[in-house]
Amino acid sequence: ITCLVMYLFAEFDDAANLLAANPDATTISIDEPVEIPKNQHSRLQEPGREEDDELLGTDDSDKTELLAGQKKSAPFWTFEYYQTFFDVDTYQVLDRIKGSVFPVPGKNFVRLYIRSNPDLYGPFWICATLVFTIAVSGNLSNFFIHLGKPTYHYVPEFRKVSIAATTIYAYAWLVPLALWGFLMWRNSKVMNIVSYSFLEIVCVYGYSLFIYIPTAILWIIPQKVVRWVLVVFSLCLSGSVLVMTFWPAVRDDNRRIAVATVATILLLHALLAVGCLAYFFDAPELDIPAPIIPAHNGTTVITKSH
């Protein structure tokens, strides 16, 4: 008889675990009638959410929230916890990259592509590629610009790689952190329908940097007009993805704060592009031959006129 009782207790334990993980699951049990009204309540809420379904991309956001909670159940000091952030296949990464470059009007990047599976693979490797692309393209572009000059001596400018790395990784991690903190703070004041987790914001920012990789390669072309057209073009594409992602999160707020937030997001994005262009790529089309001034310590310093 003790064995039977132990077995029943084990069953109850299992059921309790399942319930803890899935409080919205329909359970038929005699001693818990409170479950059923909760289900009805969530069902009543759904018609009100339909207008946001297009932007949300799915009409069972409850379930996706729960699934997100279920997935990352390993404690954070185990390796398996971090493996959940790399649970993507090749085609998923490619889809997300495509989604960041070609914004679909009315669709939200996070809900459409990420769907509660934010990955760290994309942001990390896109940033790494961008760092080296900017450094290499800047070096190549400077080489071609100064090629004909007799006094020019090619240098690899390797120090700029570390500067590029610091800047880009800081942008890809600190700006999402600040934005997430800000959104959490506003969320406590104003009830927002849409709220993003920190990793989802990191994901969006990481993938939105992808457009700068081909842009940096094309910046090798030593024409000012071409470079600025590229800046504006890439800014439009990735900026629109960012705006469409974050507008639903702030639009219920005070109108001025919402507009200021979105404007800041765009401004920082533009600042990154312009800053990289100005620092890593020398200005082309020097009309006046640069005079050579011997500096006091004996090395020759070439002054450039912009």
Partner 1 sequence: FPGLADVSISQDIPVEGEITVPVGSHSPDEDYSTLDEPVKDTIMRDLKAVGKKFVHVMYPRKSSALLRDWDLWGPLVLCVSLALMLQGGSADSKDDGGPQFAEVFVIIWFGAVVITLNSKLLGGTISFFQSLCVLGYCVLPLTVAMLVCRLVLLVGAGTVSFIIRLIVVGAMFGWSTLASTAFLADSQPPNRKALVVYPIFLFYFVISWMILTFTPQ
Nearer to partner 1, 156 or 181 (CB): 156
Residue 144 interacts with partner 1 (CB under 8 A): yes or no: no
* Residue 302, beta-bridge partner list: 292
Q: Nearest distance from residue 214's CB to partner 1, in Å?
A: 16
276, amino acid identity: C
Is residue 129 involved in binding partner 1 (CB under 8 A)?
Answer: yes
Q: How far is the CB of 150 from partner 1 (least distance, A)?
A: 15
Interaction of residue 77 with partner 1, rule CB under 8 A: no
**Spatial separation of the C-alpha atoms in residues 61 and 200, rounded to whole Å:** 15
Looking at residues 89 to 108 of the shown chain, list those that interact with partner 1 (rule: CB under 8 A).
Answer: 89-91, 93
- Note whether 86 binds partner 1 by CB under 8 A: yes
Among the residue ranges 98-106, 120-128, 202-210, 215-223, the one whose residues contact partner 1 (CB under 8 A)? 120-128
Query: What's the CA angle centered on 225, arms 215 and 282, to 5 degrees?
Result: 70
Contact (Cβ atoms closer than 8 angstroms) between residue 208 and residue 241 = yes
User: Does position 139 bind partner 1 by CB under 8 A?
Assistant: yes
CB crowding 65-77: b at 16 or more within 10 Å, else e: ebebeeeeeeeee
Residue from 41, 43, 153, 256 in contact with partner 1 (CB under 8 A)? 153
DSSP bridge partners of 294: 300
Give the binding range for partner 1 (CB under 8 A) out of 7-15, 50-58, 85-93, 221-229.
Answer: 85-93
Of residues 155 through 194, those in contact with partner 1 by CB under 8 A are 155-159
How much of the chain is in helix, strand and coil states, percent to nearest 5?
70, 0, 30
